[in-house]
Amino acid sequence: MILKFKFPYGIILLILTICFQSIAQNNKPFKDDNGRHVIPRGFVVSTNDAVGELFYTSDDYLRMVRMGANFQVIRLELGKLSSFPGGKLSPEYLLKLDSLVDLGRVHGIKTVFKMTVYGVKGFNWEKFYRNENGEQETYIAAWKNIWNRYKSNDAVNGYDLVNEPRKHEMDISYADLTNNFLVPIYQKIIDAYTEIDQGKVMYCQAIFMNKGDAINHNQYAEITRAIDRENVVFTPHIYQNKEEWIRPTMLRFVKEAELQNGPMLVGEWGFPTFLTTDTSDEAQREYMDFYIHTVNLFDSLGVGTIKAWFSGNRVMQDFLPAGPSTWAIFSDSVGVGTVERKYITDIIARPYPQEIAGEIHSFHFDFATRILDVNLSTDNSKGSSQFFIGANRHYPDGFTVRLGNELALTHNPIKQVGLEVVKKTGNWDVRNFTWDETRQQLIISQWPEDQVNLSVRIEPGIRK
């Protein structure tokens, strides 16, 4: 149903694995300060919407964690950080950002800041590119308010420098706009950052193409020039709504990420849902099939992904032919909701290896069988490892963890005793394995065997 072929799903998965294996090996992995291999996954966190400000609580952040989040991308409002027309630096806004970063830190979530042009009156992209009146310096000054504030804050991972830069009415090709204007602006911004701080990640996007323009039905221009700076991560957005368009787009993105000599983070993804989908079983099944197809491609490439938006449904947009739509993952009509659109959230909150002491070679969650397969190599010098399991939604019948053929642990939600050993050979210290019920994470403080290749499998049910 996910891929409409007549041969068995297992064969389809094998074909996909073979097709993407060489590509995935070329992708550079995300690494944290300890050198662990990290798969960033999380949500865009908006500080306001069309109604007004959005506010988040500790419970909201715990809810993110229980959906598998280890990253958040906070959308900055340029109007509250700069002297552009209509803008002014707001100390209250900075305090709000502090609170969001701190909420993330407490719950094990890293922060990326993303600059938008919201709050600026008549922001003109051509004037910005051409820097006719020092617009770039004003823009950089806004970023400096953030860089200086968080340069010593290890909960802040990096900065998404320009959100969805536009072309609009400029009489120029997308290639020339990218090569002659956007890339030099990225270089200029990064150079200004390095005068203040070093070490944060620089996230860079492509030009958001005008309505009617697209490559493989994706509205983002191609980057064909290296930014040629340290710690650059290519951060494309993908909002396509047809299965056949996802693969060629992702293959293009892989090449653009390689050009920047770094990993890739899908900075926003997921076609919006329509108000009518909430009340249609058939529409929800179709939506889930499309999302499953999409995330299977993401995971086969080992890329991190950020879903829009972690918010409620107090605002609907009406620019698509099928009617009112939204990216909100909660359906209640408040700023930040609790009523999940489960046809969205169950796909987002799939099990995966979050942070691994070693290297992740491949991973795949099969939605039909609810089995997570991970192939990795261990390195205890890099610390502990953690897997997001999402047992509350994917394994209400309990789950079994298998490490090679040597160790099997089970979690029985009825007993509520954590992990139990059902198979053990060799010198495996099971005290290194912990189940965190609150965060829905499997924690491995130390691998039983170091510097070895290991297969990890999570299966539904209590098995021996």
Q: What is the DSSP letter of 176?
A: H
Q: What is the pLDDT of residue 286?
A: 96
Collapse the DSSP code of 48 into the 3-class scheme (helix H, G, I; strand E, B; otherwise coil) and give the result: strand
Q: What is the pLDDT of residue 13?
A: 39
**Extents of the domains making up the chain:** 1-38+351-464, 39-349
Q: What is the DSSP letter of 438?
A: T
The set of residues, in sequence order, having a beta carbon less than 8 Å from that of 62 and lying 6+ positions away, is 107, 438, 439
Collapse the DSSP code of 90 into the 3-class scheme (helix H, G, I; strand E, B; otherwise coil) and give the result: coil
How far is 370 from 349, CA to CA, in rounded Å?
12
Write out the H or E segment, with its range, that includes residue 265. strand 265-269
How far is 41 from 304, CA to CA, in rounded Å?
5
Helix, strand, coil abundance in the chain, percent, nearest 5: 30, 25, 40
Q: What is the DSSP letter of 264?
A: B
Q: What is the pLDDT of residue 327?
A: 95
To the question of domain 1-38+351-464 being in CATH 2.60.40.1180, the answer is yes
Other C-beta atoms lying within 10 Å of the C-beta of residue 211: 7
The DSSP result for 339-398, as a single string, is SB-HHHHHHHT--EEEEESEEEEEEEEETTTTEEEEEEEE-GGG--EEEE--HHHH-TT-
Write out the H or E segment, with its range, that includes residue 50. none
Q: What is the DSSP letter of 221?
A: P
**What CATH code is assigned to 39-349?**
3.20.20.80
Write out the H or E segment, with its range, that includes residue 345. helix 342-348
Q: What is the pLDDT of residue 95?
A: 98
- Tell me the CA end-to-end span of the chain in Å, nearest whole number: 31
How buried is 198 (Cβ within 10 angstroms: 0-12 exposed, 13-18 middle, 19+ buried)?
exposed
How far is 96 from 45, CA to CA, in rounded Å?
12
Q: What is the mean pLDDT of each run of 10 residues along the chain (464 residues)?
A: 30 41 60 96 96 96 98 98 97 98 98 98 97 97 98 98 97 98 98 97 98 92 96 96 94 96 96 95 97 97 97 92 94 96 98 98 98 98 98 97 94 93 88 97 95 97 89
